[in-house]
C-alpha cells in the first residue's frame, strides 16, 4: 500500500480526515500542484458540506463555477492573452486599496509577504518586473491545480453577501485540507472578470468574489516552502470584562 493510501493518512483514496484544528493549523496557500486529478465526487462532497455555512437569513447567496480539463485550459489561455495585452478591468467590488494607500500595520505586513513570496521563496528581485510577471501569470493557470473554482455571489445580497461568501470560501478551504487537499484563494482573477464571465457564461446577477485553486500540493516545489506568520492573539483581541 502506498503511503498516500495508508489508513492513517489523508489523501487520495483515504477516508481519513483531519479534524478542524489540524486542518486549520496546516492550511496555507499553495501555489504549485501535482497534476494528480481530484475526483468530481470529492469536489461535490466538499461543496455539499461547505453549503452548511451560515448566511444572512439562510439566503445562501453563493454560486461556484468548477473549472477543469479543456474548460480550464481555454480560460487560462484567454486570461494569459488579456494579461499580455494588459487588458485589466476594475474589479466588480473594491477588493483592496491602491498599494500606496495602505497604512500601518497592514502596509508592512503586505510588504513583508511580497518580500517573502518573491524574494526568499522565488529569488526574484523587487526590480525584476519580468520575473514578477512570470510568477503572477501562474495565477491564471490556477497554479497548475487540476481544479479551479470561481466563487460568485448574488449582487442583491450586497456587503452581507460578501461576508457570507467569505465564510463559504473558508469552509471550502478547510474541508479540502481535511481531505489532504490544498488550496489558494485568488483575487487575481478580478482584474480580468469580463474574460472569466464570458468564458464561464456567468449570469449578470452573479458578482465574482475570487478564484480558488484546488489540488494536491507539489511539496518538492520551492513555491510551496512559503510559511506565513501570524500576530499573537493579544495583537488583535480585546477582552471586555
Ligand atoms: C480573498 C483572497 C484572495 C487572495 N488572492 C490571492 C491571489 O490572487 N494570488 C495569490 O497568490 N494568493 C492570494 N491569496 C493568498 C494570500 O496571499 C494568503 O492567504 C496570505 O498571504 C496568507 O498566507 P497563507 O494563506 O499561506 O496562510 C488570497 C487570499 C485571500 C483570502
pLDDT digits (tens, 9 = 90+) for 210-240: 999 999 999 999 988 999 999 999 999 999 9
Check whether 54 has a pLDDT greater than 50.
yes
How far, in Å, are 60, 61, 145, 222 from residue 167 at the CA level? 11, 11, 22, 30
Measured distance between the N- and C-terminal CA atoms of the chain, rounded to whole angstroms: 54
Write the CATH number of the domain with boundaries 33-93+140-220.
3.40.109.10
Q: Which residue has the cell 466538499?
A: 46
Q: Atom 31, ligand 1: which residue's CA is nearest? A: 185
- List phi, psi (to 5°) of 112: -60, -45
Q: What tens digit of pLDDT does each residue of 116-169 get?
A: 999 989 999 989 999 999 999 999 999 999 999 999 999 999 999 999 999 999
* Cβ 147 under 6 angstroms from ligand 1: no
Neighbours of 50 (CB within 10 A): 20
SS (H, E, C) 83-109: HHCCCCCCCCCCCCCCHHHCCCCHHHH
Among the residue ranges 93-97, 118-122, 195-199, the one predicted with the least confidence is: 118-122
* Cβ 186 under 6 angstroms from ligand 1: yes
What band does 2 get if pLDDT is binned at 50, 70 and 90?
Answer: very low
Q: Which residue has the cell 450586497?
A: 158
* DSSP conformation letters of 168-182: HHHHHHHHHHHTT-E
Measuring CA to CA, which residue among 167, 159, 152, 151 is closest to residue 55?
167
Q: What is the dihedral of CA 94, 97, 98, 99, to 10 degrees?
A: -140
> Can you give the C-alpha Rg of the chain in angstroms?
18
Question: What is the CA(139)–ligand 1 centre distance, in A?
Answer: 11
**Are the C-beta atoms of 18 and 178 separated by less than 8 Å?**
yes
To the nearest 10 degrees (0 to 180), the angle between helices 40-50 and 158-178 is: 130
C-alpha cell at 183: 488550496
Q: CA-to-CA distance for 168 and 9, rounded, in angstroms?
A: 26
How far, in Å, are 49, 66, 126, 156 from residue 153 at the CA level? 18, 14, 35, 9
* Cβ 228 under 6 angstroms from ligand 1: yes
* Cβ 206 under 6 angstroms from ligand 1: no
DSSP run (H or E) holding 150: strand 147-154
The number of the ligand 1 atom at minimal distance from the alpha carbon of 139 is 9
Q: What percent of the chain has pLDDT over 90?
A: 92
Residue 3 pLDDT: 41
**Are the C-beta atoms of 116 and 226 separated by less than 8 Å?**
yes
Pocket test for ligand 1, best of 134, 186, 192, 209 (most atoms within 8 A of CB): 186
Amino acid at each position: 500500500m502506498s503511503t498516500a493510501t495508508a489508513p492513517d493518512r489523508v489523501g487520495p483514496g483515504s477516508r481519513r480526515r483531519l479534524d478542524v484544528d489540524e486542518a486549520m493549523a496546516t492550511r496555507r496557500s499553495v501555489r504549485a500542484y501535482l497534476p494528480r486529478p481530484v475526483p468530481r465526487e470529492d469536489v461535490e462532497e466538499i461543496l455539499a458540506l461547505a453549503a452548511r455555512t451560515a448566511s444572512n437569513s439562510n439566503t445562501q447567496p453563493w454560486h461556484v463555477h468548477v473549472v477543469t480539463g479543456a474548460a480550464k485550459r481555454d480560460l487560462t489561455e484567454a486570461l494569459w492573452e488579456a494579461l499580455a495585452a494588459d487588458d485589466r478591468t476594475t474589479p466588480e467590488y473594491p477588493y483592496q486599496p491602491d498599494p500606496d494607500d495602505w497604512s500601518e500595520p497592514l502596509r508592512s505586513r503586505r510588504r513583508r509577504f511580497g518580500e517573502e513570496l518573491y524574494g526568499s521563496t522565488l529569488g526574484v528581485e523587487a526590480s525584476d518586473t519580468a520575473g514578477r510577471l512570470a510568477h503572477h501569470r501562474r495565477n491564471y493557470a490556477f497554479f497548475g491545480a487540476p481544479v479551479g473554482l470561481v466563487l460568485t455571489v448574488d449582487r442583491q445580497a450586497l456587503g452581507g453577501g460578501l461576508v457570507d461568501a467569505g465564510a463559504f470560501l473558508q469552509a471550502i478551504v478547510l474541508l479540502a485540507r481535511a481531505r489532504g487537499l490544498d488550496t489558494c484563494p485568488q483575487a487575481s482573477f478580478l482584474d480580468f472578470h469580463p474574460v472569466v464571465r464570458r468564458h464561464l457564461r456567468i449570469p449578470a446577477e452573479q458578482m465574482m468574489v475570487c478564484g480558488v485553486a484546488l489540488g494536491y500540493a507539489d511539496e518538492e516545489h520551492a513555491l510551496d516552502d512559503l510559511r506565513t506568520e501570524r500576530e499573537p492573539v493579544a495583537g488583535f483581541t480585546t477582552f471586555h470584562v
